[in-house]
């Protein structure tokens, strides 16, 4: 069924607690945790508890949960105080754009200069 946990999904295992993560925020619908390979002083991933492969499919099926993910990205930025200096929220979508984990997630990056375009 759409949104159900997938047995081979790394982020479903973080949601269930089967794989440990440094969790910084949780809501009924989302979990936020530090990226294992940070690309900036603040690098937090915000994921829905529901399994969808990417942000677009999450938004199509569960628009409120996608909104929750974005709202939590802002809350992470405020917690980390990068809302003062600027931060970036990224949804890599598809392997060609660098997506490696096919459970929707927002990267929240901040704490250093962030060039645009990102390359
Ligand atoms: P993507 O490349 O799919 O946009 O982002 C996946 C992110 O997940 C990468 O930044 C990667 O470092 C992170 N990641 C991969 N495996 C783990 C893990 O086991 N724990 C945590 N906390 N992050 C992970
Ligand atoms: Zn999953």
Domain harbouring 35, CATH code: 3.30.428.10
pTM of the predicted structure, to 2 decimals:
0.98
Query: With contact defined as beta carbons under 8 Å apart, do 21 and 115 qualify?
Result: no
Q: Does pLDDT of 1 surpass 90?
A: no
> Which residues is 109 bridged to in the sheet?
43, 88
The whole-number pLDDT of residue 57 equals: 98
Active site residue 105: yes
Range of 34's domain?
Answer: 10-110
Ligand nearest to the CA of 40: 1
Q: From ligand 2's centre to the CA of 8, what distance in Å?
A: 8
> Helix %, strand %, coil % for the chain, to 5?
30, 25, 50
pLDDT tier, 119 (very low <50, low <70, confident <90, very high otherwise) = confident
DSSP secondary-structure letter at 41?
A: S
The one catalytic residue among 51, 103, 105, 107? 105
Assess contact for 110 and 82: CB atoms under 8 A. Answer: yes
Residue with tokens 């099926």: 61
Give domain status of residue 88, yes or no: yes
Is 47:13 a contact under the CB 8 Å cutoff? no
Is there a domain that residue 1 lies in?
no
Residue owning the nearest CA to atom 19 of ligand 1:
36
Span 27-47, average pLDDT: 98
Instruction: State yes or no: cis peptide before 80, omega within 30 of 0.
Output: no
Residues 39-78: tens digit of each pLDDT: 999 999 999 999 999 999 999 999 999 999 999 999 999 9
- 95 domain-assigned: yes
Shortest CA distance to 34 belongs to which of 112, 107, 115, 117?
Answer: 107
- Which tens digit of pLDDT belongs to each residue from 69-111? 999 999 999 999 999 999 999 999 999 999 999 999 999 999 9
Specify the residue with its C-alpha closest to ligand 1, atom 13: 35
- At residue 95, what are phi and psi to the nearest 5 degrees? -60, -35
Q: Name the domain count of the chain.
A: 1
């Amino acid at each position: 069924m759409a949104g159900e946990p997938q047995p081979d999904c790394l982020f479903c295992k973080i949601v269930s607690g089967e794989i440990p993560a440094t969790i910084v925020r949780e809501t009924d619908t989302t979990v936020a945790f530090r990226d294992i390979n940070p690309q900036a002083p603040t690098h937090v991933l915000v994921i829905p508890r529901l399994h969808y492969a990417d942000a677009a499919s999450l938004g199509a099926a569960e628009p409120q949960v996608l909104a929750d993910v974005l709202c939590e990205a802002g809350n992470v930025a405020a917690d980390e105080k990068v809302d003062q200096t600027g931060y970036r929220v990224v949804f890599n979508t598809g392997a060609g754009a660098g997506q490696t984990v096919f459970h929707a997630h927002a990267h929240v990056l901040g704490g250093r200069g962030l060039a645009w375009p990102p390359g």
